[in-house]
Homo-oligomer: A and B are copies of this chain.
Amino acid sequence: MVCAGLEPDQLDRLSEIATEVAFARNQVVFLERDAGTHLFTVTSGVVRVLKTLPDGRRQITGFLFEGDILGLMLDGGYVYSAETSTVATLCRIPRKKIESLMAEVPRLLARMLALTTHELAAAQEQMLVLGRKSAKERVASFLLSLARRSERRGGPGGRLDMPMTRAEIADYLGLTMETVSRILSEFRRGGVIGLDPPQTVSLLRRDILLKLAQGDVPVGV
């Protein structure tokens, strides 16, 4: 299969018009407001999706993994920028082909609606995180969402690969790199997580993380 994880059902006519593209780390896939000519799916690696302010501040609105789709556009332009967080391969599909195919195959349309709905629900949740949770609560929420994602894909929920840097996590959680680092250290000292290489996390006390993430009074951290 050319573009793994693209369309598990009989819509593989999509794969016929898709092109695989390889990226190094920290490469721009496309920029916000660029003409939205293609839709992408992640075949391997991690992609970050982000918005920036004129002075350089940035908000990462999501990390995308294998099988995820990107390329949301409005009025013909992309709504956000996309860059690779790791080396990655993506599938590129011309927008027009998708659109004509959607007009032809309502099933694809329905699938796109389902995917977009899912993304919207995730965005709502992230607004709660960004607007109302403390730094500790944000980091705990992030670790749990990483674990859930891993489990949903059949991976381990306990020992996780965390391929993004502290700065990227910070830009995702609306914090600074230093705050993220401090909180991860605090969790480690409290025995809540393990950080062997700094990019591998073990969730040792998921119960505590869960309480922290919801703002309940923690037991011993």
Output the nearest chain B residue to A133 by Cβ-Cβ distance: B53
Our pick among B74, B102, B106, B174 for the contact of A130 (Cβ within 8 Å) is: B174
Q: How far is the CA of A54 from the CA of B130 in the complex (A)?
A: 16
Q: Is A58 an interface residue, CB under 8 A from the partner?
A: yes
- A131 contacts B173, CB within 8 Å? yes
- A124 contacts B123, CB within 8 Å? yes
Q: Is A120 an interface residue, CB under 8 A from the partner?
A: yes
Contacts of A135-191 to chain B: CB distance below 8 A: 171-174
Q: Is A219 an interface residue, CB under 8 A from the partner?
A: no
Our pick among B53, B54, B116, B173 for the contact of A116 (Cβ within 8 Å) is: B116
Most buried by B among A57, A112, A120, A127: A127
**A interface with B by C-beta (< 8 Å):** 51, 53-55, 57-59, 61, 72, 74, 79-80, 102-103, 106, 109-110, 112-113, 116-121, 123-128, 130-133, 171-174, 214-216
